[in-house]
Amino acid sequence: MKRVSVAILGCGNRGLEAYGCWLAAHPETVRVTALADPRRERLERARRLFPDIPAGQMYPDWRRFLDSPRLADGVVLATQDRLHAEPAVSCLQKGYHLLLEKPMAPEEEECRRIVREAVSAGCLFAVAHVLRYAPHFRTIRRLIDEGAVGEVVAIQHAEDVGYWHQAHSFVRGNWARETEASFMLLAKSCHDVDLLRYYTGRRCLRVHSFGSLTHFRPENRPAEAAGAKRCLDCPFEPRCPYSALKIYHRDRLSRGALGWPLHVVTHDLSEEGLLRALREGPYGVCVYCAGNDVVDHQVVNLEYEGGATAAFTMSAFNEGGRRTVIHGTRGLIRSEEGAGIRVLDFLSDCWREVAVPEISGPGVLHSGGDAALMEAWTAALRTGDPGSIVSGPEESLETHLTTFAAERSRRRGTVEPIPY
């Protein structure tokens, strides 16, 4: 089997912990030849995962990588949202096949530019819409294609972000402020807008959306917490569900759950190391005075070609996961991520349970979608056949444009057409 080479630009949680760990586990088909990240500690951790990479091919900046002679067949680009467009275009112009972490970019014109360059360069290009690759969601698409529910007429879909995940990533974390990352629907739920396109098989025509930042605001801070900027100093802390001590120490460290999101907070996973991080870093700040500005709940109504509709809800205030109901002319699909898929046939009036294939090993996040995406993209690199890539440039651009239009609708209070 042909062995391909890959460089990783951005060695954070997605670039290293998700995609890098999968690459390290498959040395028979792929080797990592270069790394780039401005944080020295990240490069050092990556070097331990890939000890054969020469020191001269570990770069503090993606520009230094691109200034070097060609070092790989493809690039995994997993920098922060606002550092996607320029390196993505530069990689494509240099002829690198590209796996681009979602969202493609936080500005509409940047997304269009990336896709124009991908098509012009003829490179194998995939956006990391990992849900399209996950067995749970692919099984739903297979059922639709097989006619299990007839023609899809309407979809109800919910992304339950999870109260602690919202606090971690979108109040205290890297995606808390639009100017530093992107708006919430793009940062978190472009997955879900893309999934609705995947299910319907049709382009969206127009959208209407409402939502706001309702809870994680200074005026909602409990009176007993006044004056305390960090959970470690707060008398209300034992009664706060968003307490950093609860989320990171009591619910995780003390129970031995040392993976994500704990390793994002600190690489020193001792009690002393965690408490130091909560004392000094952003993850110990009170959620009511963190300076975040992205919404904590949003609804989007979507109309597709042919008249099909979808209603999507994103909310922070739940346990986490995705739930979907697909209404067809001959049946109904009910699914809950991690809990199974059921199909009702209108003719027999009987329900049946549908088995979902399991994936184990590195990359099992997103219901196995991370691993399946990496398998698909590296297979395309080995064969030159883009057929395994189901999140290519044109359709990914469609769903990004739909997401941008939904955000315009939320801000303007209008029904927005999709400007293809």
Strands in 256-320 per DSSP E = 297-304, 309-315
Pairing type for strands 152-160 and 204-212 reads unpaired
pLDDT of residue 362: 55
pLDDT of residue 361: 63
Tracing tokens 């001590």 back to the chain, one arrives at 245
pLDDT of residue 180: 94
Give the Cα separation of 401 and 108 in Å (integer). Answer: 7
CATH number of this structure's domain 4-130: 3.40.50.720
pLDDT of residue 357: 85
pLDDT of residue 269: 95
Cβ atoms within 10 Å of 205's Cβ, excluding its own: 15
Residue 296 three-state SS:
coil
Q: Which of 35, 112, 24 is nearest to 76 (CA)?
A: 35
Q: 217 pairs with which residues across the strands?
A: none
End-to-end Cα, the chain, rounded Å: 40
Class of domain 131-216+293-417: alpha beta
Tokens of 181: 């990352």
Q: What are the pLDDT digits (tens) for 218-258?
A: 999 999 998 899 999 999 999 999 999 999 999 999 999 99
Q: pTM of the predicted model, to two decimals?
A: 0.95
Give the Cα separation of 336 and 321 in Å (integer). Answer: 7
CA distances 363 to 18, 133, 158, 359, 401, Å, are: 5, 12, 23, 9, 28
Tracing tokens 């808390």 back to the chain, one arrives at 176
Segments making up each domain of the chain, as ranges: 4-130, 131-216+293-417, 218-284
Q: How many helices (H) and strands (E) does the chain have?
A: 14, 15
pLDDT of residue 358: 78
pLDDT, averaged in runs of 10, over the chain (420 residues) = 92 91 95 95 91 94 94 96 96 97 97 97 96 96 98 98 98 96 96 97 98 97 94 97 98 94 93 98 97 98 98 97 97 93 98 87 70 96 95 97 98 97
